[in-house]
């Protein structure tokens, strides 16, 4: 059975059309139920499709030659939402011409356009950017918010927890994912007032059995990738810093190993002996194997591919998008929010207004 087609912003990302088309072709090769609306310069897309007849047979092209710049302010880009490849891809979700959109372009612009076109779901104050990251266990960890909003009150954090758990159930298969709030310590007295209030609200809801998640208190940043939790919840400012610190550490380890194994003849021989283990490490740390951040809380599915993603990374983002469509992510979130109830959220009476970030991840 074919899934709703996926709108691909073919002009986004560091390399644009070539990588986006190759990535979609890889995804289509592995999943023949995928269909696409390819948005961008029609002539360039047609040329790229010559090497991918299987993708061409499952795609429609929507031509436009206007592109959102990588460093363009969201406030400026949003004025051209009706003429850019990014804006038209998102609008296709709004009109029902596509079931979801994927872009590797400007994150801030993509969030702004998505919020304007799709609006937030009932019961969600602000959408969040969520991504999956590797752990020492067999399952990945979902982390949000990664930059959609620089600040979050307790109400926002509870909503993030519900959305992150719904997403985690799809990608990990756990019926009740373990959810923790990112904090500077695990003790109940640690952290800001917002964090402590959110913890109290989630504890009460978990004890009441109304949520499809297990709230387990706080987690420190050095435990994010241990695999002890399925969902890590935080504000976008802290989340973005934590994400980039983790990505930087992964690159540091990879580069350090490369230097170590090429420093001498003995090291090169050691590399050959340990190559199976280092290849496994390389696969685990490769961001292309975890590519595809999701804007949760919108009336539609929008996935952000990393701008530097390879074709393999784009294919992974497309596969994540299809999986969310197949498992009806937005419907799951709506159901879980109804289980949470407004009464629990009203327990937070102090909610400071969150501020939108102009420059998310």
Write out pLDDT tens, residues 34-79: 889 999 999 999 999 998 998 998 999 999 989 998 888 988 888 9
Q: What is the mean pLDDT of residues 267-271?
A: 62
The confidence score (pLDDT) of residue 356 equals 44
Mean model confidence pLDDT for the chain: 83
Read off the pLDDT of each residue in 22-29 and give the average, rounded to a whole number.
Answer: 90
Residue 164's pLDDT band (boundaries 50, 70, 90)? Answer: very high
Q: Helices in 173-310 by DSSP H: which ranges?
A: 193-207, 236-261, 265-285
Instruction: Give the least confident one: 114-123, 190-199, 203-212, 337-346.
Output: 337-346
Is pLDDT of 26 > 60? yes
The reply to whether 6-118 and 128-288+334-346 are identical in fold is yes
Token code pair at residue 65: 């030659």
**Angular region, 300: left φ>0, alpha ψ -120 to 50, beta rest:** left
pLDDT at 101: 95
Percentage above 70 pLDDT, the chain: 84
Lowest mean pLDDT among 86-95, 180-189, 275-284, 327-336: 275-284
154: its two tokens: 């307790």
What's residue 345's pLDDT? 59
What pLDDT score does 14 carry?
A: 80
Question: In which band, very low, low, confident or very high, does the pLDDT at 353 lie, cut at 50, 70 and 90?
Answer: very low
Measure the CA–CA gap between 98 and 88, rounded to whole angstroms: 11
The tens digit of pLDDT for each residue in 289-346 reads 778 889 999 999 999 988 888 888 999 899 889 989 988 999 989 888 887 765 555 5
Q: What does CATH list as the number for 6-118?
A: 3.40.718.10
Residue 347 token pair: 């327990």
With pLDDT > 90 as the criterion, what percentage of the chain qualifies? 38
Question: What confidence score (pLDDT) does residue 239 get?
Answer: 85
Answer whether 191's CB lies under 8 Å from 183's CB: yes
What pLDDT was estimated at residue 355?
42
pLDDT at 270: 59
8-12, 148-152, 292-296, range with the lowest pLDDT? 148-152
Per the CB < 8 A criterion, the answer to whether 241 and 248 are in contact is no
Residue 354 has what pLDDT? 41
Q: What is the pLDDT of residue 352?
A: 39
Q: How confident is the model at residue 98 (pLDDT cuts 50, 70, 90)?
A: very high
Residue pair 264/270 in contact by the 8 Å Cβ criterion: no
Strands (E), the chain: 6-9, 36-40, 59-63, 100-103, 128-133, 141-144, 178-182, 214-219, 231-233, 293-296, 301-304
pLDDT of residue 251: 72
pLDDT of residue 351: 42
- Each residue's pLDDT tens digit, 202-246: 888 877 666 788 899 999 988 888 888 999 999 988 888 888 887
Domain boundaries, the chain: 6-118, 128-288+334-346
Give the pLDDT band (50/70/90) at residue 134.
Answer: confident
Q: Domain 128-288+334-346 falls in which CATH fold?
A: Isopropylmalate Dehydrogenase (3.40.718)
In this predicted structure, the answer to whether residue 105 has a pLDDT above a threshold of 50 is yes
278 has pLDDT over 60: no
Residue 100: both structure tokens together: 């979801």
pLDDT reported for residue 357: 43
Return the exposure string of 36-72: e unless at least 16 CB atoms fall within 10 Å of the residue's CB, then b. Answer: bbbbbbeebbeebbeebeebbebbebbebeebbeeeb
Let me know if 22 is exposed, middle or buried by CB neighbors in 10 A (0-12, 13-18, 19+). buried
């Amino acid at each position: 059975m074919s899934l709703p087609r996926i709108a691909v912003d073919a002009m986004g990302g560091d390399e644009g059309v070539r990588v986006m088309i190759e990535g979609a072709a890889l995804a289509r090769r592995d999943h023949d139920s995928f269909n696409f609306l390819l948005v961008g310069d029609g002539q360039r897309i047609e040329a790229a499709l010559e090497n991918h007849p299987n993708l061409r047979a499952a795609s429609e092209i929507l031509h436009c030659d206007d592109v959102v710049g990588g460093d363009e302010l969201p406030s400026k880009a949003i004025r051209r939402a009706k003429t850019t490849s990014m804006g038209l891809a998102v609008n296709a979700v709004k009109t029902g011409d596509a079931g979801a959109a994927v872009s590797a372009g400007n994150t801030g612009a993509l969030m702004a356009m998505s919020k304007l076109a799709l609006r937030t779901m009932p019961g969600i104050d602000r959408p969040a950017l969520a991504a999956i990251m590797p752990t020492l266990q067999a399952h990945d960890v979902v982390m949000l918010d990664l930059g959609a909003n620089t600040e979050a009150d307790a109400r926002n954090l509870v909503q993030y927890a519900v959305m992150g758990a719904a997403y985690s159930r799809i990608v990990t298969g756990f019926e009740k994912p373990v959810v923790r709030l990112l904090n500077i310590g695990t003790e109940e007295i640690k952290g800001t007032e917002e964090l402590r209030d959110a913890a109290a609200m989630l504890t009460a809801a978990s004890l009441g059995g109304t949520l499809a998640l297990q709230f387990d208190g706080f987690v420190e940043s050095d435990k994010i990738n241990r695999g002890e939790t399925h969902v890590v919840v935080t504000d976008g400012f802290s989340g973005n810093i934590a994400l980039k610190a983790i990505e930087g550490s992964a690159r540091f380890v990879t580069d350090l190993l490369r230097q170590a194994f090429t420093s001498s003849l003995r090291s090169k021989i050691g590399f050959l002996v340990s190559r199976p283990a280092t290849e496994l490490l390389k696969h685990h740390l490769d961001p292309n194997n975890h590519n595809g951040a999701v804007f949760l809380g919108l009336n539609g599915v929008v996935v952000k591919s990393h701008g530097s993603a390879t074709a393999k990374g784009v294919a992974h983002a497309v596969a994540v998008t299809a999986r969310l469509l197949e498992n009806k992510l937005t419907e799951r979130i709506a159901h879980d929010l109804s289980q949470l109830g407004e009464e629990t959220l009203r327990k937070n009476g102090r909610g400071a207004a969150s501020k939108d970030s102009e420059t998310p991840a």
